[in-house]
Structure 1
Amino acid sequence: MFITQILLLAVILMIAFGAGRMLFWVLFMKDAPSLEEQDSHLGYNSQL
């Protein structure tokens, strides 16, 4: 019984974390600059 409760809690936490991360990305992408600017950031980071 105790193990099943731990597994259930872990699944709930993973689902909540995934939903929270997706919500964060949606909010972040809404305020984020254009994709071209993000690509230039990625290129700049890869050149370092």
Structure 2
Amino acid sequence: MFGGPPPSLSAAELKAQEDEAIVTVQRVIVGAVLLYLSPFAIDAIKKLV
């Protein structure tokens, strides 16, 4: 709006942002799976003890 559009990103900067986004999505998926499986793991550990 004021001062014109932001400068366009270079190919390296776009690739770095894409890589960071991919890693973030993978971490969220792994965290969700771990949270889903944690009650089953806790129950299995309680049965062993």
Please state whether the residue corresponding to 1:13 is helix, strand or coil: helix
2:31 to 9, 17, 22: 22
The aligned length equals: 38
Stretches of 4+ aligned residues off by more than 6 angstroms: none
**CA–CA distance in structure 1, aligned partners of residues 39 and 21 of structure 2:** 27
Contiguous gaps of at least 5 residues in structure 2: 1-9
- Aligned Cα RMSD in Å? 1.9
Give the alignment's TM-score, normalised by structure 1.
Answer: 0.62
Name the one with the larger helix percent.
1
- The alignment-based identity, stated in percent, is 3
Matched AA of 1:17: Q
